[in-house]
Structure 1
Amino acid sequence: MLRSYLAEAKWRNEGYVPTVEEYLQVSLISSGYPMVTTTSFLSMGKVATTDAFGGCPMTLRLLALSLLCRLMNDIHGVSEEETVKLFREEIANAWKDINEEWLKPTPAPMPLLERIMNLARAMDVIYKDGDGFTNSYILKDYVASLLKDPVL
């Protein structure tokens, strides 16, 4: 994560604009989403064993989650229509990957997978209709609408 922060600082200091591939390679880590997810496993005791993390499905889920979260956050900081369109397509593809992996049998314990899915769901709520992290009134209004009509 620190290497990613340093790479981003170097880009800024040098005025370098990375390619999309370079940017994603670094920003998927610097976003903190993989760290938040894996850190949340620490309190899970015997569910979060080394055997649970050995399989490829867990890695794919974390990668798709990181991409989804990073782009949902970043989409509110870009203005070029083409970039926003690309980000929205990548977000849709990440959701497809997450949902496809969710339906496949896996040796990973369900509580671990649920943490990954719940973070993706939270990011969807926070960023879908604007930057609800920076502008918390968006979330306040959303929650208020749910309380008025809980059928939603």
Structure 2
Amino acid sequence: MTEARWLTSNYKPTPEEYIHVSRESSGYALLNTTCYIGMGDSAIEDIFNWVSNWPKIVNAANVLCRIKDDIVTSEFEQKREHTFSFVECYMKQYDISRQAAIQEGQRRICDAWKDMNEECLRPTKVPMPFLTRILNICRVMDVVYKDKDNFTNAEGEMKTFIKALLVDPVPI
């Protein structure tokens, strides 16, 4: 609802406001949580409490996925009535070019990968299979939004990737 209010009132949030609100609206945190449902008895209530309290790895994953998506989709989304992206918010806040805002987004993505690596390499009370699920979602997003929007335009590279995975798997 916050993003809808921003859009209708033409309010352009700060990058920090945008990241905070988009962590809820993007769906990436929910995707992390739903990945645990199929893990059987190992997905105990403590794990769901942990993931719902926004640990560092979940925050980093959300920033990484959200900004990666925004970098490649923002121009297309601005052609239709759509809420602002990190790129537009950063450009307005600091009165800089699109390319400079993208570079800042890429810097934040790099920092998010560092945070995720740190969380996966340090001993934790959360078993590694749960951290790996979050890491793997980010790996998928890295492929989907590497240089262009392969989610919206899935006919090109993404179709090739899916076909290689499901239709022409590596023989064992």
Bin the TM-score by the shorter chain. Answer: 0.7 to 0.9
Alignment of 1:68-147 (within 5 A): 68-78=64-74, 80-136=98-154, 137-141=156-160
Map Cα deviations across residues 6-43 of structure 1 (whole Å, 9 max, x no partner): 00000000010001011011011111000111012122
Report Cα offsets for 1:45-69 as digits up to 9, x if no partner.
Answer: 2211123356599711111111100
Aligned counterpart, 2:55: 59
- Give me the TM-score of the superposition, normalised by structure 2: 0.74
CA contact (8 A) 1:41 1:48 kept: yes
CA contact (8 A) 2:67 2:109 kept: yes
Q: Does 1:16 align with 2:34?
A: no
Q: CA RMSD in A?
A: 2.6
Q: Which has the higher helix share?
A: 1
Unpaired segments ≥5 residues, structure 1: 1-5
What letter is aligned with 1:32? Answer: G
Q: Which has the higher contact order (CA 8 A, sep 6+)?
A: 2
**Amino-acid identity (%):** 42
Under a length normalisation based on structure 1, what TM-score does the superposition of the two structures give? 0.83
Gaps of 5+ in 2: 76-97
